[in-house]
Amino acid sequence: MIKVYRSAFFFLIIFVSFSAFSVPPETSISLLYFDKFLHFTTFLVLSIFLDLSSSKPLLQNKLYILLLISYALLIEVVQYFLTYRDAEFLDFIFDLVGILVYVMFAPKLEIRHQI
């Protein structure tokens, strides 16, 4: 089952990267802070799949957490250099909050044992 989650995680990384680096659609949703909700949700879901694709819990894989944080930072750095994108520090903060929420609550929910 780990291989399925690992494949899903890599698919999500490709999808998120494509979404983050491509030209945004003209008809994008302009709800207040909807973008921040997407950042939070994206990194919460990435954390879940990264955890499930590993043999050890994410909290014991400090390197994986660091790589996920680095990926969030990389997205904002690349977007800074793209003329059609904006890099926002608050986006990075919401990415970190998504990771942190999972790391804090996953052991209490025992998500690894339910799936």
Count: domains in the chain = 1
DSSP string for 26-83: TT----TTHHHHHHHHHHHHHHHHHHHTSSS-GGG-HHHHHHHHHHHHHHHHHHHH-T
Whole domain around residue 88: which residue ranges? 2-16+32-114
Q: What whole-number distance in Å separates Cα of residue 98 and Cα of residue 86?
A: 20
Q: Which segments within the chain are labelled E, that is strand?
A: none
Tens of pLDDT, residues 45-103: 999 999 999 888 888 889 999 999 999 999 999 999 999 998 999 999 999 999 999 99
pLDDT of residue 79: 96
45 part of a folded domain: yes
6 part of a folded domain: yes
Reply yes or no on whether the pLDDT at 115 is more than 60. Answer: no
pLDDT of residue 55: 86
65 part of a folded domain: yes
56 part of a folded domain: yes
* Residue 77 token pair: 């750095």
pLDDT of residue 25: 76
46 part of a folded domain: yes
* Residue 27 token pair: 């008809």
24 part of a folded domain: no
74 part of a folded domain: yes
Of 102, 101, 98, 105, the C-alpha closest to 37 is 98
* Residue 32 token pair: 């207040």
